[in-house]
A and B are shown apart, each in its own frame.
Chain A
């Protein structure tokens, strides 16, 4: 892959890390889903997390905005440590946007209302201003004409782009993507990936769980490979894909690539 196709990096290594996980452990009952996970994500860094299903990648990013609670270790996001303090949690969630595999748009609200809800109620933004902002982001994901429709009237790809716009309307510092293209039909994957590439170009700090290796090569500053709850290997995309060090990563890559 040529340098022209990859995005220029916006990593700010001098600033304190946007996200810092130290020795994070989590169990679901007796199942140990995260084992001593340590990961620092710099401001402006774009990290792709991959690994076989059940490897704990989704759990990992869901711990970052505390949709799941970790049981051991420390997670610091944007300088705030995750704890039982609800105020701190609200502050973190304001700054961390999330996009889900199953979109999770609010079906009883229009596209525009989906996008303005959080700015109005969480950021206390005046309604008009929130609507202008929402239209701006809907234009950026290229579906401003759908603003008055309900989510059920849109295709999967369009819904996922709305979900991205909805998260962006909170003007977060960090965006988390939890397998954003896994629930989509093949012909819709590209439109969502294009949107994410566009976003990566803006210097947003991103953590993305995905199996889209082309996307990883194009935008990732770093690829993190997880298996059985631990980080097995990490590095720049080229090193990971072309020179895997561990058997597990080699096996995973051969399985992924056979499918393509």
Chain B
């Protein structure tokens, strides 16, 4: 029954006047419901709020207000870090980054040629962006990859087109991290798909090889694999023959990542109902067409989250190459603060390194979330 003015007029005189209902949506209602619902909830909110604000304020003080961004030079042409030392504890010494950022990013690469590794990093990022865009998912993309990776090789090594030659043991910093992880995953992923398929093969020899590979590689730590690649492997080579250390580390990373990714891919293959295989068989699709058109597209969509999880893990695991003396981003950062005048400013350097790693990992994570939404659209009715 609707309440009209007429009805309202007939209401008894002693009708109770009610207040308007409380708001149920909006930030105020949300905080009332979740943060101030009762007295202990309110107490926890206030206590945590106090701590949060207190630490946020002291962090801002340290990182920005009291921070020292540049330092003057001494007569000898070296940076004078006295100001930093005096501010230690109360203010960050970002001067270490200002002074050392080129070393952290590019390691011992010849200083005058730093534009080359910089260009390489930009090329890598451009390659990621282009590959991430669906409209470029055509076979020509493989050509773009081949071209860009060749160009990256030319830029890093030089020795042609008037570029001076830079041997690999002088490479370092971010380009090394990007090279190891990009080549690592670009080769490990197809390898992983083949191994995962092989593990489910009906042919006993292929199956045995794939099982052996996965179990052997997964059974040892990456560090020991890197050690083997750098120390033991050369002992087996004939005299005079030498495969570069970076290449050996790269192969170790590919093999290691391949074993892990293979198990992720296999999980996706396992999750597909048998009916999908049977329907493809019944239509007369050959094994490779069935796999490429029906099985893998579905299986890989299912495992996007664990795949990206492994990708992110391996991006960071490339920092383990420091133990065989390869100068990746993390090692370059560590080395930058060895000089006596910069000793004690590790926090600033590590925060910077963490930010760089975070930017790459977070981009991967965000991209995968979008990919997952888009690819699994067919599951939503």
Question: A residues engaging B (CB < 8 A)?
Answer: 65, 67, 90, 93-94, 96-98, 100, 102-108, 117-118, 121-122, 150-153, 166-167, 170
Nearest CB of B to A210, in Å: 18
- Asked whether, in the complex, the Cβ of A67 is within 8 Å of the Cβ of B284, the reply is no
Name which of B276, B280, B283 has the most chain A CB atoms within 10 A of its CB.
B283
| B350: min CB distance to chain A, Å | 44
Q: Which of A106, A122, A153 contacts B284 (CB 8 A)?
A: A122
Residue contact A93 to B381, C-beta cutoff 8 Å: no
Q: Which residues of chain B have C-beta atoms less than 8 A from A153's C-beta?
A: 381
Give me the interface of B with A, judged by CB distance under 8 Å. 273, 275-276, 278-286, 289, 293-294, 297-298, 301, 378-381
Please, which residue of chain A has its CB at the minimum distance from the CB of B272?
A: A107
Output the least CB separation between A184 and chain B (Å): 16
State how many angstroms separate the Cβ of A260 from the closest Cβ of chain B: 29
- A90 nearest in chain B by CB position: B284
- Complex Cα–Cα for A151 and B273 (A): 15
Of the candidates A103, A151, A170, which one forms a contact with B283 in the assembled complex, judged by CB atoms under 8 Å apart? A170
- Sampled A-B contacts (28; CB under 8 Å): A65-B281, A65-B282, A67-B281, A93-B282, A94-B284, A96-B282, A98-B282, A100-B278, A100-B282, A102-B273, A102-B275, A104-B279, A106-B294, A106-B298, A107-B298, A108-B297, A108-B298, A108-B378, A117-B293, A117-B294, A118-B285, A121-B285, A122-B285, A122-B289, A152-B379, A152-B380, A167-B282, A167-B283
Chain A minimum-CB-distance residue to B292: A121
Q: Are A104 and B275 in contact (CB under 8 A)?
A: yes
State whether A106 touches B381 (Cβ < 8 A). no
Q: How far is the CA of A216 from the CA of B108 in the complex (A)?
A: 82
Q: A146 to nearest B CB, angstroms? A: 13
Within 8 Å by CB of A105, from B279, B286, B301, B380, lies B279
Main secondary structure of the interface of B (DSSP, over half): helix
B275 touches A118 (CB 8 A): no
State in angstroms the CA–CA spacing of A170 and B285 once bound together: 11
Closest to A117 in B: B293
Q: How far is the CA of A118 from the CA of B294 in the complex (A)?
A: 11
- In the assembly, what is the distance between CA of A180 and CA of B381, in Å? 23
B1 nearest CB across to chain A (Å): 40
Query: Could you say which residues of chain A place their CB within 8 Å of the CB of B380?
Result: 152
With both chains docked as a complex, state the minimum distance between the C-beta of A161 and any C-beta of chain B, in angstroms.
15
Q: Nearest chain A CB to B376's CB is how many angstroms away?
A: 9
Cα distance A94–B360 in the bound complex, in angstroms: 48
* Interchain CB contact (< 8 A) of B286 among A90, A97, A117: A90
In the bound complex, residues from chain A placing their C-beta under 8 Å from that of B301 are: 108
Closest to B286 in A: A90
Cβ–Cβ contact B278 & A67, under 8 A: yes
Chain A nearest CB from B128 CB (Å) reads 25
Q: Which A residues are in CB contact (< 8 Å) with B286?
A: 90
Smallest beta-carbon distance A92→chain B, Å? 8
Minimum distance in angstroms from B201 CB to a CB of chain A:
15
A117's partner among B273, B283, B298, B381 (CB-CB below 8 A) is: B283
Decide: A106 and B285 in contact? CB cutoff 8 A: no
Name which residue of chain B comes closest to A93, CB basis: B284
A67 touching B294 by the CB < 8 A rule? no
The 6 closest A-B pairs by CB, nearest first: A104-B279, A93-B284, A104-B275, A118-B283, A98-B282, A150-B378
A106 and B281: CB pair below 8 A? Answer: no
With A90-B286, A93-B284, A117-B283 as known contacts, state yes or no: A152 contacts B378, CB within 8 Å.
Answer: yes
Measured between beta carbons, the chain B residues less than 8 angstroms from A118 are: 283-285
Contact, CB under 8 Å: B278 / A104: yes
With A117-B293, A118-B284 as known contacts, state yes or no: A107 contacts B279, CB within 8 Å: no
